[in-house]
Each structure stands twice: as structure tokens, then as C-alpha cells.
Structure 1
Amino acid sequence: MEFVIVSFKEDRTVLADGEELGQTNETLNIGAGHHIFSLSNPQNYQPLSVTVNIQGTTSLAPFIVKFQ
């Protein structure tokens, strides 16, 4: 199990590979590997998606995905 935090200025539902994963600004669990992250509507954020390979994370050192 890997750990990720998707940061954004407001609370928003996080989508990983098109499926709901959790909320922004919280530590989320995800399987290792390549994933495409985006946020729920409205699409008032940049970039519209982020593709990353998540591996080697811990709950104390999660991967950070940033949206603006």
C-alpha cells in the first residue's frame, strides 16, 4: 500500500484513474504503480490531470500531488 496527499486550496473529491479515492489535503491509500490523478468538478484547477508512478512511500512520507 502506498500513500499520497493531493493538495488543493479547497476541499475536493480526488479521482485516481477515474475513480473516487478520497478528499484533497488528506493522506490517501493507493496501490503501487502509475496513476492518473484529477479532481471533481468544477474544473477550475491546473493541471487538469497528473500522471505519476507511486512507489516507496510511507504514511510519514507520502507522495505529494499538487493542483493549483
Structure 2
Amino acid sequence: MTAQAAEGTASPQLSASETNAVPASWHFYRAYWTKAACLTEGDALGGTYKCSYGLGNDGRYKWFLYRWY
């Protein structure tokens, strides 16, 4: 006798929404020269955001707006 897979049993399948699911995380949105400009834009966009001060790629310090999604 040869071993054969059981026929008629379905393998579990994921829906398209389950396969494309990505855990939420912080995403860079834009850089600003002032904290006030960063906070104003974050408030206008809504949702969860944070403004973080740091060194940009151009060697200058700026405020970076990050959004949570």
C-alpha cells in the first residue's frame, strides 16, 4: 500500500484582509522647523501623532511629525 493524502480535507485559507494585515506602528509624515508648526499639523490631521526633535538628513535639527497607523 502507498501512503496518500486524505482527499476532501480543505487546508486552512486566509482571507485577503488577513494576509495583508500589518501591525500598527509609527510612520514619518513630514519635518518642520518649529514645534508649533509640527503640533498644528498633527492636530489638523487628527489621529495619534507625536512630534520628535532630531537631526535631519541635511544636518539640521528639525521637528519630525510621526503618525500612528
TM-score range, shorter chain: under 0.3
Greater share of residues in helix: 2
Greater share of residues in strand: 1
TM, length-normalised to structure 2:
0.26
TM, length-normalised to structure 1:
0.26
Highest relative contact order (Cα 8 Å, sep 6+), 1 or 2? 1
